[in-house]
Chain A
Amino acid sequence: MSENQQPLLELRDIEAGYGRAALVLRGLSVTVPAAPSSAWSAPTAPGSPPC
C-alpha cells in the first residue's frame, strides 16, 4: 500500500481515560482518511483534507 492510500490517522479499539474510575474512550475505533493529493490544489473545495 502506498503512503497516499494509507489513512492519515487510525485508532483501533482504544480504551483510555484518567485512571480506572474515569475511562472515557471505550473501544474507540476511528479512521481519518488521507486526502487524495489532487485535493490540495483546490482551496476550500469538496474533497480537500478533513478539517
Chain B
Amino acid sequence: MIGPNGSGKTTFFNCVTGMIRPDSGTVSYRGRDVTGKASHRIAAAGIGRSFQLCRIFPRMTVLENVLAAARPRGIAALLGSARGAAEIDRARGWLHRVGIDHLEGAEARDLSYGQQKLLELAGVLMAEPETIMLDEPAGGVNPALIDRIAALVRELNAEGRTFIVVEHNMELVMSLSDHVVVFDRGRPIAEGPPDTVRADPAVLEAYLGV
C-alpha cells in the first residue's frame, strides 16, 4: 500500500488491527466480521502487525522482548508467565531467522534502529500470525538491512504467510508486491499489479507529482 503522507494508510492498519474503532463500515477477515474487535482478539484471529515507529521494550533484553510477544498456549496460558524451554527455543529460532540471535542478551535500546525493526518483526512472528501487516518496514533502515527484511518477507511468504505492507520505498514495494493499492485522501485511487499501478496516470499525479 502506497500513498502520500496523511492519505490513510496507517489509519487503515489501525482499523484492521483494532487500534481504532471505525465510525462506520465493516472489516472482515477470512469472512469473519472483526469490526471494532479488540487488538488481542484480532491477533488471536491470525493478524500480526508492526508499527511505523518501533514498539519494543527498550530496557528488556532482545530475547525477553520476543518472549513478551508470545501468545500464551496450553499450560503456559493457565500459569500466566510460565515459559517453557520450548518457548525460549522458539524465540531463539525467530531471532536466528531475522539475523539478530547473536544479540539476544543485549538490551533492546542498544540496538541500531534497523536491528530494532528486526526485533519487532521477530516479536510479531513469535505470535505465529498467518497475515502480517508491516508499517514502513524500511523506514530509517540502512540498505543492507532493507535487503534482509525483503529477503525475510519473501521467505515467509513462500512458507504461506501473507504480508500487507505500507511503504514509501517504491523499489521495495514494486519488487515485493503482487498487488499494489494506492491511497490518496482516505481512498484507494488505483490498484493492481505493480507494473499496472506504476503506469496509472492518477498515481503519477497523486503520488509521484508528475
In the bound complex, CA of A25 to CA of B24 (Å): 10
Known: A16-B22, A26-B186. A9 touches B29 (CB 8 A): yes
Known: A6-B31, A28-B187, A49-B178. A15 touches B158 (CB 8 A): no
Q: Which of B28, B153, B155, B157 contacts A9 (CB 8 A)?
A: B28
Least distance between A19 CB and chain B CB atoms (Å): 10
B188 at the interface (CB under 8 A from A): yes
Establish whether residues B15 and A51, one from each chain, have CB atoms under 8 Å apart when the complex forms.
Answer: no
Establish whether residues B15 and A25, one from each chain, have CB atoms under 8 Å apart when the complex forms.
Answer: yes
In the bound complex, CA of A51 to CA of B23 (Å): 27
Which residue in chain A gives the minimum CB-CB distance to B178?
Answer: A50
Establish whether residues A24 and B8, one from each chain, have CB atoms under 8 Å apart when the complex forms.
Answer: yes
In the bound complex, CA of A31 to CA of B24 (Å): 17
- Number of A-B residue pairs at CB separation under 8 A: 134
Contacts of B115 in A (CB 8 A): none
Question: Chain B: interface residue count, which band?
Answer: 35 or more
A42 at the interface (CB under 8 A from B): yes
Known: A9-B29, A49-B178, A51-B153. A15 touches B23 (CB 8 A): yes
Which residue in chain A gives the minimum CB-CB distance to B22?
Answer: A16
Q: Which of A16, A29, A40, A50 contacts B23 (CB 8 A)?
A: A16
Known: A14-B15, A24-B8. A48 touches B23 (CB 8 A): no
Contacts of A48 in B (CB 8 A): 157-158, 178
Establish whether residues B29 and A11, one from each chain, have CB atoms under 8 Å apart when the complex forms.
Answer: no
B73 at the interface (CB under 8 A from A): no
Establish whether residues B30 and A44, one from each chain, have CB atoms under 8 Å apart when the complex forms.
Answer: no
23 contacts between A and B (CB under 8 A): A1-B31, A9-B16, A10-B26, A12-B26, A14-B26, A16-B23, A23-B23, A24-B11, A25-B187, A26-B186, A28-B8, A28-B12, A32-B162, A35-B162, A41-B158, A43-B155, A46-B178, A47-B178, A50-B177, A51-B163, A51-B164, A51-B165, A51-B178
